Amino acid sequence: MAFLHAIAHIELNAMDLAWDIVGRFAGEGMPRSFYDQWTRVAAEEALHFGLLSERMAAFGARYGDLPAHDGLWQAAEATGHDLTARLAVVPLVLEARGLDVTPSMVATFRGADDDATADVLQRIYDDEKGHVYVGAAWFRYLCDRQGRAAEPAFHALVRKHFRGALKPPFNDRARSEACLTPGFYRPLETVRT
């Protein structure tokens, strides 16, 4: 139950973060399709939250029953001034991390004969690939617009705005399907001094 609550909390924050990108960066001069895609991401995060709420309800629980951390929102505040940094940290670090860890969660629930929860997590996993893809595409777009090479810009922004190294093992296949190629995240794997 604590697990479902924690994931629901992440999804709720992810929905707020997607809307935050649309609203906070409305004056950024991005193409209309950028805002359309983040609106779709927000809708999918809301759907994920709803699916997890249904699973919690099946166990007689609901969101709000347990305390929750605000780590995700701290990421929003740390990058509130810079859309390029926001895309680096939120979709390309935090959401990409979900691609690494979710398959084993699906397997755990499948193995425990909780197919309903496994199906919800599989749905989330499939959608999250799309979110990372949207982040990666627009991160490259912004770097092009700024005349910056995307990979070194990513390394500099993540080192500045995200505390800690990126944790392997990485789901290289899912990440590359989402256009997040190893040159972005592999160099950040080591612990910084």
- List interacting residues with Fe ion (CB under 5 A): 11, 14, 45, 48, 95, 128, 131
What's the DSSP call for residue 70? -
- Which tokens go with 11? 């999804």
Look at residues 35, 23, 13 and name the one whose alpha carbon lies nearest to residue 138: 35
d(CA 91, CA 143): 16
The CA radius of gyration of the chain, in Å to the nearest whole number, is 17
Separation of alpha carbons 173 and 187, rounded Å:
17
Task: Give the shortest CB-149-to-Fe ion separation in angstroms.
Answer: 26
CB of 34 to Fe ion, least distance (A): 16
Candidates 118, 98, 107; CA nearest to 178 is 98
Minimum CB–partner distance for residue 88 and Fe ion (Å): 15
Closest residue (Cβ) to Fe ion?
131
Tokens 């001034």: give the residue. Answer: 81
